[in-house]
Structure 1
Amino acid sequence: MHFAANYGWYVLIGWIPKYFKSELHVSGENLLTTCLPYVFGVIGSYLAGYLSTASFIRKKIRLLWIRRFFAAISSFLPALFLIGLAVGTKSVVTGTALLCSSMFFARMAVVGYWANMIDVAPNNPEFVMGISNMVATIPGILGNNIVGVLMGKKNSWGIAFGITSGMYVVGGIIYLIFSGAEPLDREEASENKLKDDVYMESQMEFVEREEENNSEEKSQ
C-alpha cells in the first residue's frame, strides 16, 4: 500500500499546480485556491491520528480493524474523487473540491500502512520504515515521469488521474487482504512489553510514595 499511496501522493503534490493552471485556468498567484488541497491533506492526517487513537483507547476497537478502516477510506475514496477529475470538469469549484477531498482522505493512509509498521515490528520499526520508504520512493519518481509523458504526448489529465486512481484501488485491496497488526517477533515483543509494564508500575509506585511523603510533611 505504501507503494501505491506514494504514487498518488507524489503525482498530486507535483501536478496540482499544473492542473490548476492548464485545466481550471487558475493562476499561481491565487494562493488561497491552489493551496487548499495541501491544507486539507494536513487536516486529514491529523484528524485520522486523533480518531484512530480515540477509537482504540475509548471504544476498545481492535487495532487491525482500525488500520484496515483507514487504509480502505484512504485508498478507495481518493480513487473515487480522482475518477471524477478523470471524467473532466472545467468548474473551478468542482475541481478544487475533488482535489481537496482526494488529498484529505489520501493522507489518512498514515494511520493505516505507516503506523502499521510499528505494530508488526515494535522493536525495530525504523528499519522497516526505512526499507519501505526507500522502495516506495520509486513510484513517486515514476509517477511524475509517467504523467509528464502523458501530458506531453496526449495532454490527457483523464488518463493521468485514471492511472493514479487505479493505483490507489490496487494498493488498498492488497493491504486489506494481507495486512496484520501482530508483531512478527512475538516472543521478543512480549518480553519488551513486560519490561515496559514493570517500569510503569515502578513509576506509579514512586509517584504514590512521593505523594504520601508530601502529605505527611504538610500534616506535620
Structure 2
Amino acid sequence: MAPPSSLSINTALSDESEDNEPLLGDDTVPPQCCSARLNLAVLMFLGFSVVYGLRVNLSVAMIAMVNTTDSGPGRNSSVAHACPLPAGSENSSGTFEQPDGTPQYPWDAETQGWLLGAFFFGYLCTQIPGGYLSGHYGGSIFLGLGVLSTAALTLLTPLAAQWGPYWLFALRALEGLGEGVTFPAMMAMWARWAPPLERSRLITISGSGSNFGAFLAMPLTGYLCQALGWPAVFYLCGGAGCLWAVLWFMFVSDDPRTHRRISKEERDYIVDSIGRQNGFLSALPYLAAWLCSVLSGFLADSLIEKKVFSVTTIRKLFTLTGMLPPAGFLLAVAYAGCNHVLTITFLTLASAVAGASSPGVFINQIDIAPRYAGFLLGITNMFGTIPGVIAPIVTGYFTEDHTLAGWRKVFWVSAAINVGGAFFYTLFGSGDIQPWAVAEDDDEGAKRERKRSNST
C-alpha cells in the first residue's frame, strides 16, 4: 500500500484551523447502508461466525464420536451425579443415534478434555505474530488465510480421528494456529477502515460474529450429527469456511484507498477522519452476548459523538459494566443448586452483560496506539487465551467427584478473575494515544488528536 502523498500530509499538518474543527472535519457523512465499510463489517461477522462455529462444533460432536457403551479403563457408569437429570430425560442414552457405519471411539473423559483444549495450544501461539505481521503487511491476507486454513484443516477431522487421538490433538492445535491470527488481523484492518466515531459499532458488529457463530453451531451440529452422522458436521462446516474465504479475497481490500468498489465520498470520509492514524498498523448465552455487544457498540459511539464522557471514561464504564455484573451472575450460578432454569438464566445473563465490554477494553488498543493495534490485540488476546488452555483441565480436577462444591470452586475462580481484571483496568486504563505509539512525523497530528479526545 502506497502512503499518502507528502503534499497532502504537509497540507493537513499546516492547517492551523483544523484544531477547532469537529472530530469528523466535515458535516457530510456518507450513509452506512450498503457502504464499503459496513459490507466489510458484515463479511467479517460472517467470517468469525464460521471460525467460531468450527471451534465449538467438536464439543457437541464429541458426544456422537465417543462410544459411551465402551467399558474400558476410565469409564465408570455408576458414578452418581450431584444433581438429578431434568424430568423426562431419565431414559436418554446421553448420545446421538448415528447412521449405520459411522465410526465411534473409546475415548475416556481425560482424553476428551485434552482434545477439547488442544485448539487453544495453537491459538495461543499466533496472537502476537498475527498482530505484528497484520500491522506491517495488511490484515486482509492474514484474516482470510486464518479462516481458510482453519476450515481446510477441519475437513480432515474425520480422518485424524480415525488415525487416533494424538493425530486429532495435533490437527486441532493446527486449527488454533490458523484462527489465532484472525482477531489481531481484524483490529489491524479497522485501524485503516473505521472512522473514529464509528469504531465501536463497526468493530463490535464484526467481532460479534464469534458469539453468533457459536450460538448457531451448537444446535446445528446436534442436528447434523443425528441426521447425517458426525463426520458430515466437519465436511459441511469446513466447506462453508472455504467458500467464505473465496468471497473474502474477491471483495476485500486492506485500505479504502485501494478498494475497487468504494465511492469517492466514502473513501475521502474514511481517509480524512482517520488522518495519520493509518500506518503500520450453550447456545442462548452466545446469542445474548452478540445482541448486547452490538447494542453497546452503538451506545458507546453515541456517547462519544455527543461528548457525554471522554473516550477513557467510556472505555472504563463499559468495561466495568461488562465484567462486574457477570461476576455476580456466575456466583449466582454456583448457588443455584440443582435448579436448571435458574442455572441457564444466570449463565445467559452473565454472557449477555459481558457483551457490554466489547466497546470497552476490547477495542482500547486502537485508541492508545492505532499503528500497533493489531500487534497489541495479539498480546492481549494471547494472555486472554491462556484460560482456554487450562480451563478444561482445571475444571476437570475441580469437578472430578461430580459434587456441587467442586463446581462452586469453578465459578468462584471465574468471578474473581472478572473482578480483578475490571478493577485493574479501571485503575490503569487510558483512551488517549500514547507517546510511544507516535512516530516523529506524526507528533503534530497526534497532539491535535489528543486535544480532540480530551475535549470529548
TM-score, structure 1 length as denominator? 0.70
What does residue range 55-204 of structure 1 map to in structure 2 within 5 Å?
Answer: 55-153=303-401, 155=403, 156-185=406-435, 187-188=438-439, 190-192=443-445
* Cα shift readout 1:122-159 (whole Å, capped 9, x = no counterpart): 12201111122122211221222211211114642111
The amino acid of 1:121's aligned partner reads A
Report matched runs for 1:32-47 at 5 Å.
34-47=282-295
Deviations 1:158-187 (A, max 9, x none): 111111011101111111111011111275
Inter-partner Cα distance in structure 2 for 1:104 and 1:24? 27
Q: Match of 1:167, as an amino acid?
A: I
- Residue 23 of structure 1: how far off its partner (Å): 5.1
Question: How far did 1:191 drift?
Answer: 4.3
Residue identity in the other structure for 1:140: G
Mapped to 2, the partners of 1:23 and 1:37 lie a distance apart of 22
Check conservation: 1:121, 1:184, Cα contact below 8 A.
yes
Does the 8 Å contact 2:82/2:402 carry over to 1? no
User: 1 CA distance for matches of 2:448 and 2:311?
Assistant: 22
* Distance across 1 between alignment mates of 2:412 and 2:386: 19
- Report the counterpart of residue 201 of structure 1 in structure 2: none
Structure 1 residues 187 and 137, CA gap change in structure 2 (3 angstroms) = closer
Per the TM alignment, residue 194 of structure 1 is displaced from its structure 2 partner at its CA by 8.6
AA aligned to 1:64 is T
Deviation at 1:81, TM superposition (A): 0.4
SS in 1 for 2:416: helix
Q: Paired residues, what number?
A: 180
Structure 1 stretches lacking a partner, 5+ long:
1-12, 197-220
Per the normalisation by structure 2, the TM-score is 0.35
Bigger Rg, structure 1 or 2: 2
The amino acid across from 2:396 in the alignment is G
* Distance in 2 separating the partners of 1:40 and 1:105: 8
Cα deviation per residue 1:6-43 (whole Å; 9 max; x = unaligned)?
A: xxxxxxx89x989xx98584679995xx4211111111
The CA distance in 2 between the partners of 1:117 and 1:24, in whole Å, is 46
**Does the residue aligned with 1:163 lie in a helix, a strand or coil?**
helix
Task: Give the conservation status (yes or no) of the 8 Å contact 2:304–2:311.
Answer: yes
Check whether the contact 1:67–1:113 (CA below 8 A) recurs between aligned residues. Answer: yes
- After superposing the two structures, state which structure 1 stretch, 182-191 or 122-131, moved more: 182-191
Identify if the C-alpha distance between structure 1 residues 195 and 63 changes in structure 2 by more than 3 Å, giving closer, same or farther. Answer: closer
Distance 1:81 1:121 in 2: 34
User: Which secondary structure does the structure 2 equivalent of 1:79 belong to?
Assistant: helix
Contact 1:150/1:160 (8 A) holds in 2: yes
Contact kept, 8 Å, 2:330 with 2:411, in 1: the verdict is yes
Instruction: Give me the CA root mean square deviation.
Output: 3.3
1:115, distance to aligned residue in structure 2 (A): 0.9
Q: Which residue of 2 aligns with 1:206?
A: none
Higher relative contact order (CA 8 A, sep 6+): 1
Q: Name the residue aligned to 1:205.
A: none
AA in 1 matched with 2:410: A
1:152 alignment partner, SS class: coil
Identify, as 1 or 2, the structure richer in helix.
Answer: 1
CA distance in 1, matches of 2:285, 2:84: 14
The structural deviation recorded for 1:72 is 0.5
| Paired amino acid for 2:345 | A
8 Å CA contact 1:24–1:95 kept in 2: the answer is no
Inter-partner Cα distance in structure 2 for 1:187 and 1:181: 15
Aligned residue for 1:141, secondary structure, equals helix
Helix, strand or coil at the partner of 1:181: coil
Change (3 A) 1:105 1:24: farther
